[in-house]
Amino acid sequence: MNETLTLLLAGVAGLLLGAFFFGGLWWTVRKGASSQRSALWFFGSFVLRTSLVLAGFYLVGRAHWQPLLACLLGFVMARPLVTWLTRSSEHLPIRRATEPRHAP
């Protein structure tokens, strides 16, 4: 039971790390695209996001490889979740009104 709880918590930690990483990437693209110093935004964000995620992986997986794998799985699962949550209205499917198939 204790091992299962440890793996579950490691997966949740990976999900949070992934949400931070990919959410930060989304935020950086939105802010950096309109900035005068976009290279500084992108480079600074990359260094900050990567260093915090690597530190999180180190803290979670320093004991054994199983929690590290659970953390990595949570991290990978965060990408489609953040992509789904941050999609713009431009990419949503347009529902068109159905036309009647007969004359009025």
3-state per-residue secondary structure call for the chain: CHHHHHHHHHHHHHHHHHHHHHHHHHHHHHHHCCCCCHHHHHHHHHHHHHHHHHHHHHHHHCCCHHHHHHHHHHHHHHHHHHHHHCCCHHHCCCCCCCCCCCCC
Q: What is the pLDDT of residue 49?
A: 96
pLDDT (tens place) for every residue of the chain, 104 residues total: 688 999 999 999 999 999 999 999 999 999 888 889 989 999 999 999 999 999 999 999 887 899 999 999 999 999 999 999 888 756 556 566 566 666 66
- What's residue 96's pLDDT? 61
pLDDT score recorded for residue 1: 66
- What pLDDT score does 86 carry? 87
